[in-house]
Structure formats: structure tokens, C-alpha cells
A = this chain, B = another copy of it.
């Protein structure tokens, strides 16, 4: 990694600005501010320049100039990342490259079930465009109204549909990428089988803009389900939840499209703070599951499948109680509760967060051990682990003790992380499940990846970005 350069000179800023045209080169503090602050206010960067190119060629010209002049570049999509990967550091030497103006859907092919979209297209628009041709793009995230597909792919986003459809990595057939040197990798292929040489797109999926800048992608589309059912079910323990998941997968296979878990404590937070909310279960349970099935046939088949899934769990003594949504509105209420699980923690004071994943069979053990460990570390703290049971990804968040001091609690962030991550690692899990590494977890990466793996990552970085100008200080 080269030593950190000085802030770009006025002359250099003018040369960068000339590439995109003055109107799209932001320098005034009021204009640049939205690009410099992470939405959870954890990171606030400093930059003299935000570039908003309007074409792949402009992105290429920017990166070529950056490589030639050793100017650090921070690519940014919708600025919704949760690990600081998309914001510049505080040095004032880094330039932000916002992909937001690359917002064309270049092509959509219902027969081939593909869509070619530029990096800056917002995820909601991708959903709508697929829907308009009776297809589905299944990536589903809380931030889908503002995150961009380029950011989703660069960070290999997860979300609630991974169980049935995989991660963002699994939803892409081809990529157009600009290398740090400004060379363009023209890989917009729409093929479901292609072994003509190395699969180069894998170098850029999930590498958080450190090896190249994704400018467009050929996305896979799926058949749009004709009918869905959503239910909330109560279970006594995570082990019961896991066993119920196994039965549901056996019964519904790929038609099981969500299997989420929430603890009673978090449901209580939601009922207390969300106006008009109601407990979906008549008898409160220690853990709540949100279950969704999707079918290509019709409503009767969806209902029959959901009833069979729940009956399997009830008959095995795993599910205590269950409610199937009786209307589209009620189904939305169930999902609103699930999506409100993160937001609602704000009402209960400080919250220390962990985005971790475990081998499915290790989840009950992890939840028991991590809960005990953080309660020992901070007596009175309130663990509220929730998330994507179906794919093993738990947001092991911990709310502060009632009436305690928020700042004092949050000062223990790293200490609590260390305890939880230690248990995760011991059980073969990941400390960075769906949010990535970014800036937040860079320092601890070497603690969970072997020296050989760290060596390989650094070699890839040096091979693809020899000048070290692309998103420095992130991931590796």
C-alpha cells in the first residue's frame, strides 16, 4: 500500500471535474455532505470532490487519471452500507465516485429472464421493471428504496430471500467493470452456463469496490410467484425453530421463500413503540417465526402448502401456535413487524450490533452461549438476536440495560464484539455475514482469516490495483 497522498490540488480537481462536466463535480460542502455521512452517523468522511459520471467511459477516464496521479477513489452507490465501505476517510485526500447517474435499465428480456441494468439503478426500480414483464428479481432488503444494484453486487448483499434464491452473487450472469487502471472489462454476458476461461466477475462481486468498479450487470430474473402466504408461528426455543425449518424445507423445498426469527423481547419493543401494532399470536411465545411460501399455481395451493408446513411443525410439537395472514394487508403487517425489528431498537437506548452467520446446526448453541456471555459482560443488558434463520444469518444486537447510561454502554462496543465474535469463530461462523467488512471490520479480519487467506487477498489487491487507489483502507 503506498503512503497516503496529499489532498488533490486545485488543478487536479479541475482535471477530474472536466471529465464529468462542472455540474456533476460537487465541491461545495452543502452539495457533498450527503455523500460523506453514513446514514447511521457512525462515519463522517471529508472530501474536496464528489464526481457523478454519466457513462462507463467517464468512469474509465476518472480511474485512469486517478491511477496516473495516485489519487484515492471511493466508489459509492446509494450510500446505505452499514460498515463504512462507501464513505471516504477523514484525511480529505479521497475523492468520491458516485454511480447514481448510471441509472439506465439497458435491456430486459422476459423470454431469457434477464435484465441489463446500470450500477446506479435503485433496487426498487429493478423490482418494478421485472414485475412489469411478469418476472421476479428476488433480492429483498430493508434499504431497497435507496440502495443501488451496483452497491448490492459490490457488497454481495443478502436480505430475507437468500433461503430460496441465494445472495446477490447468485443473481448475476455478467458484469461490466472498470478496473482501477481505467481498462473496461466487457463481461455483460447473459449465459447460465459458461466455462470459457476463469469466471472473472467473481473478482468484483462482494469485494466492496476494492478491485474494480461495477458499472452494469446482467441480472437473472425468476418466475413471479402467482400466490404467497405469510404466517407467524411461535416456538419455545431456537432448537425447535431449527427443527421446524428442517420440516418446512422438506415440505416446501424452494417454495419456502422466507423463514425469519424474532425474540419475544424484540416483539415487545415493537408492540410498545409502533402505533397500531398488534401481537400476531394470541398466546405469546418465546420466539416468533415469520414464514412465507410462494407458488406458481394459485391461492388454494399456497394456502394448502402453508397449512401443511405449519401442521408438520405443530404435529412434531415444535410450533406452539400459528397465525396465517388472512389478507394482503395482514401479510404486510407481519412483514412490517419483521422489518421494524432494527428500527425499533432505537427507542430502547443504545444498541451494540453484530452481523454474524453460523452453520445452521450451530445456531442454538451460538445463541445460548452468546446470550450468556454478553449478560455476564454487561449485567442487565438485553440481547435481541433476530434475523434470517433460514440462511443462518443472525443480527445479534444487544440493547442497553433499562435506565443505564447510553454512552457508557456504547463505549463497550468493541469489547462486546470481541466476545461475540470469539464464539462465532469458535463455532465456524462468520463475523461479517451480509453487511461486509468495509472499514468497520477491516482491523479484525486478520483475526478470523488464516495467514494464507490474508496473503491471497492482499495479492489479489496488489494484482488488480497496483497503485492502491481504489477504496483504500477498506476490506484488506
Contact = CB atoms under 8 A, between A and B. Distances in A.
A185 interface: yes
B296 A250 contact: yes
A460 B200 CA distance: 10
A379 B362 CA distance: 64
A31 interface: no
B430 A193 contact: yes
Interface stretch (A98-106, A121-129, A451-459): A451-459
A13 interface: no
Q: What is the count of identical protomers in the complex? A: 2
B109 A194 contact: no
B198 A360 contact: no
A111 B445 contact: no
B179 A170 contact: no
Contacts of A253: 222-223, 225, 254-255, 294-296
A223 B250 contact: yes
Contacts of A203: 202, 456
B359 A114 contact: yes
A337 B428 CA distance: 45
A144 to B, nearest CB: 17
A80 interface: no
Nearest to A155: B195
A197 B476 contact: yes
Contacts of A112: 359-362, 392
Given A112-B359, A359-B190, A196 B437 contact: yes
Given A164-B254, A197-B445, A437-B197, A452 B179 contact: yes
B251 A254 contact: no
Nearest to A220: B166
Contacts of A225: 253
Interface in A434-452: 434-437, 441, 445, 448-450, 452
Pick the most buried of A164, A205, A359, A430: most chain B CB atoms within 10 A of its CB.
A359
Contact of A456 (B167, B185, B242, B431): B185
B194 A357 contact: yes
A441 B195 CA distance: 11
Nearest to A169: B199
Contacts of A249: 113, 223
Contacts of A393: 192-193
A175 to B, nearest CB: 11
Nearest to A196: B432
Nearest to A211: B198
Contacts of A184: 452
A151 to B, nearest CB: 13
Given A254-B255, A392-B192, A359 B452 contact: no
A382 interface: no
Pick the most buried of A197, A296, A361, A452: most chain B CB atoms within 10 A of its CB.
A197
12 contacts: A111-B360, A114-B359, A190-B428, A193-B392, A194-B357, A194-B430, A196-B431, A197-B453, A197-B476, A198-B460, A224-B250, A463-B463
Interface of A: 109-114, 134, 155-156, 158, 162, 164, 166-167, 169-170, 179, 183-187, 189-200, 202-203, 205-207, 211, 222-225, 242-243, 246, 249-255, 294-297, 301, 305, 308, 357-362, 388, 391-393, 428-437, 441, 445, 448-450, 452-457, 459-460, 463-464, 475-476
Given A112-B360, A192-B393, A456-B464, 10 more contacts: A112-B362, A187-B453, A191-B433, A194-B430, A195-B206, A197-B457, A199-B206, A253-B254, A253-B255, A297-B308
